[in-house]
Amino acid sequence: MLKMGRFDLGGEIFYGLVDGSRVSRVEDPFRSPVPSGRTYGLEELKVLAPCEPGKAVCVGLNYRDHALELGLEPPEEPVIFLKPASALAGPGDFIEYPDMSRRVDYEAELAIVIGARCKNVPAGDAPEYILGYTCANDVTARDLQAKDGQWTRSKSFDTFLPLGPYIITGINPDRLDISLYLNGEIRQKSNTSNLIFKTGELVSFISRVMTLEPGDVILTGTPAGVGPMQKGDRVEVVVESVGTLANTVR
């Protein structure tokens, strides 16, 4: 199991492996995350989103509990949509509440980080193309999602894709607790065992539609309990063995 992040040291941006409070710089996190020998104290670095996705492919309605809550039948195949790279935000960054919306929701999600370019991957081979997992918040302008009838605007505002803090490799993603806390109060609580389409099936399905590239992410869907955030709220996505992603709305 490795814990890999992306860091900013006075404008110099690099990837590194985290071990306690030390960070070992790595030059090629996707092909061979071998430490270069340069190390830093975590406290001297700003932690950025752990990768720079060319695209974030998101899955709608992928938890049994969330489908039940909405009174909807589970879908027969994954329903997917995109968030643009420009929506990316890092751990601790602000989520900017857009003027266009009156209702902005959190959605706690497990994110898959792609490690190698792939296309038409059989589900059983998906682990070969997955670098690891991180936490995501699929921030959504719920009023605009309903108003527009399609999801591009509601999902794509700048800062609507918080990711992080780190990519965790070598874990089994199929039985992890996932929770969301709003100002310290629990609002979502589930387990990835409730995913309708598992991580391998998602990589396979999406790769039959589009080529996946290193650093691309797949947001696997949110469990029951989605709800609104207000300016000033602190929101935390917690995934067992993966970490805690905290952001504040402004």
Of residues 99-118, which lie at the interface with Mg ion (CB under 5 A)?
107
Segment near Mg ion (CB under 5 A); pick from 77-85, 120-128, 184-192, 222-230: 222-230
Closer CB to Mg ion, 30 or 197, in the complex:
197
Closer CB to Mg ion, 15 or 109, in the complex:
109
Q: How far is the CB of 47 from Mg ion (least distance, A)?
A: 23
Of residues 129-158, which lie at the interface with Mg ion (CB under 5 A)?
138
Q: How far is the CB of 119 from Mg ion (least distance, A)?
A: 24
With CB under 5 A as the rule, give the number of residues binding Mg ion: 3
Tell me, letter by letter, the H, E, C secondary structure of the chain.
Answer: CCEEEEEEECCEEEEEEEECCEEEEEEECCCEEEEEEEEEEHHHCEEECCCCCCCEEEEECCEHHHHHHHCCCCCCCCEEEEECHHHEECCCCEECCCCCCCCEEECEEEEEEECCCECCCCHHHHHHHEEEEEEEECCEEHHHHHHHCCCHHHHHCCCCEEEEEEEECCCCHHHCEEEEEECCEEEEEEEHHHECCCHHHHHHHHHCCCCECCCCEEECCCCCCCEEECCCCEEEEEECCCEEEEEEEC
Interface pick for Mg ion out of 222, 237, 243, 247 (rule CB under 5 A): 222
Of residues 34-73, which lie at the interface with Mg ion (CB under 5 A)?
none
State the Cα–Cα distance between residues 95 and 216, nearest whole angstrom: 21
With CB atoms as reference, the residue minimizing the distance to Mg ion is: 138
Q: How far is the CB of 81 from Mg ion (least distance, A)?
A: 9
Closer CB to Mg ion, 30 or 106, in the complex:
106
Strand partners, 46: 8
Q: How far is the CB of 248 from Mg ion (least distance, A)?
A: 20
Q: How far is the CB of 130 from Mg ion (least distance, A)?
A: 19
Closer CB to Mg ion, 24 or 134, in the complex:
134
Q: How far is the CB of 140 from Mg ion (least distance, A)?
A: 7
Closer CB to Mg ion, 49 or 59, in the complex:
59
Q: Phi and psi for 147 in degrees, rounded to 5?
A: -65, -40
Closer CB to Mg ion, 23 or 206, in the complex:
206
Closer CB to Mg ion, 207 or 220, in the complex:
220
Would you tell me which residues interact with Mg ion (CB under 5 A)? 107, 138, 222
